[in-house]
Structure 1
């Protein structure tokens, strides 16, 4: 597992860790049942507080992406396809919201954007 944190990003460190792990789980880079580094080990590797690392793991557990087993560690959970779909839909909604705002700033109409979407939606399908 490859993680990095930036003190200058403005985003809380626990959030950076959480988002990177979540992205690796959703992409399949981290597989079901895979053991994550211990909280202490990850904190030492990133040179951050154990409390910060624990908060990231706790939030991932609340989202159902990992599960902690006493005495054994934190594991990537078996993927709940509906939960993952919901996470991806929220991410897509944010991207669409951003696209709509940028389109308005450029003076594009809804039809212009729909035309672009139609053009690119079929790409990659045969």
Structure 2
């Protein structure tokens, strides 16, 4: 699993790390029981503080994506598909809310917004 962080964005480094690991889990690239890089080795590879990686791992553990075993490290937690689906739906709802706000402010009708969504959705198939 390749993790890339950037200081140029407005998002904190720990969020960038956590989001990339979550993405790998949701895409099935990292499976239940797979080990994650140690906090020290990831911090060293990314040239960032150990505390930053620790915060990312703490966030992932709180959200149920990883488990930590004392003295052994961090592993991808076993998840059920409903949990993953719920996580993805929350992200979509946030994006939809943003799109709706922009559409309303621009005077774009619901019909045009749904047509645009349908077109974009089918375009990627």
* Both proteins in one fold, TM over 0.5: yes
- What band does the TM-score fall into relative to the shorter chain? 0.7 to 0.9
Task: Report the Cα distance in structure 1 between the residues aligned to 2:8 and 2:123, rounded to whole angstroms.
Answer: 38
Q: Which runs of 5+ in 1 are unaligned?
A: none
1:57 lines up with 2:57 in the alignment? yes
Q: Displacement of 1:21 after TM fit?
A: 0.7
- The 1:34/1:99 distance shift into structure 2, 3 A limit, reads same
| Two-structure CA RMSD over aligned residues (Å) | 2.0
Distance 2:60 2:106 in 1: 37
How many residues are matched? 125
Structure 1 residue 106: Cα displacement = 4.0
| Correspondence for 1:94 | 94
Shift of 1:84: 1.5
What's the CA shift string for 1:9-67, capped at 9, x where partnerless?
12111111111111111111111211000000000000111111001001100000000
Distance 2:25 2:124 in 1: 24
Q: Map 1:1-126 to 2 at 5 A.
A: 1-119=1-119
CA 94–47 in structure 1, closer or farther in 2 if over 3 Å, else same: same
Unaligned residue ranges in structure 2 (runs of 5+):
none
User: Structure 1 pair 3/122, CA: closer, same or farther in 2 (3 Å)?
Assistant: closer
Of stretches 75-84 and 104-113 in structure 1, the one that deviates more from structure 2 is: 104-113
What CA distance in whole angstroms lies between the structure 2 residues aligned with 1:2 and 1:120?
Answer: 29
- Residues 119, 43 of structure 1: CA spacing in aligned structure 2 closer, same or farther, 3 A cutoff? closer
